[in-house]
Structures are given as structure tokens and as C-alpha cells.
Structure 1
């Protein structure tokens, strides 16, 4: 279980399959829930504006 919320949908990161990784542009930690990951939901880094699937 990770702390925080999914950057795409705002769900808590309590289920298996949630992840966190550094933004490829600025290093800000992006957190994603398993549902948004499986659906390839878009996200936008709040620090630099990088957008990813």
C-alpha cells in the first residue's frame, strides 16, 4: 500500500497494483492506481506539465 492519491482519478492507493515513479521530465513522484494504469488514463505532472498515458 502506498500513501497518497492517484494523480489521474484521486482514488486512495490502497489496492494491489498501484505504483509510483518519477516524472520523466522533472523527477516529481507520480502516483497511479491500478485502475488508471490498466486503462492507460492520462495524467499531467503538477510540477512541469508533462502529460503521459
Structure 2
């Protein structure tokens, strides 16, 4: 399970960096196991990356 999450983050980050499209747009379908369990997995890295950009 952790490997799937890590791969989803990697793919989403690569697509985000290459195309400029949103991280969550690509990570959400890969991690889709139900929105209640997937949304926290998406929100945490997005908040961290936004905080880093603001600094």
C-alpha cells in the first residue's frame, strides 16, 4: 500500500512538473479507494508543497 501511494505521488509530481497541471488531478484517480480515505492523502502533500512555495 505504501509503495502504491509513493508511486502515485511520484507520477503526479512528474506530470505536475512537466505540464503544470495540478498534483491532485493525477494523484486522485491513481489512489481512488474511496474519497474519505483518499482526500487526506492528497491534501497533506498539497499543503506542504504550497507552504514551501510561500516561503
- Give the TM-score range, shorter chain: under 0.3
Q: Which has the larger radius of gyration?
A: 2
**Greater fraction helix:** 2
**Greater fraction strand:** 1
When the two structures are superposed, what TM-score results if normalisation uses the length of structure 1?
Answer: 0.27
When the two structures are superposed, what TM-score results if normalisation uses the length of structure 2?
Answer: 0.27
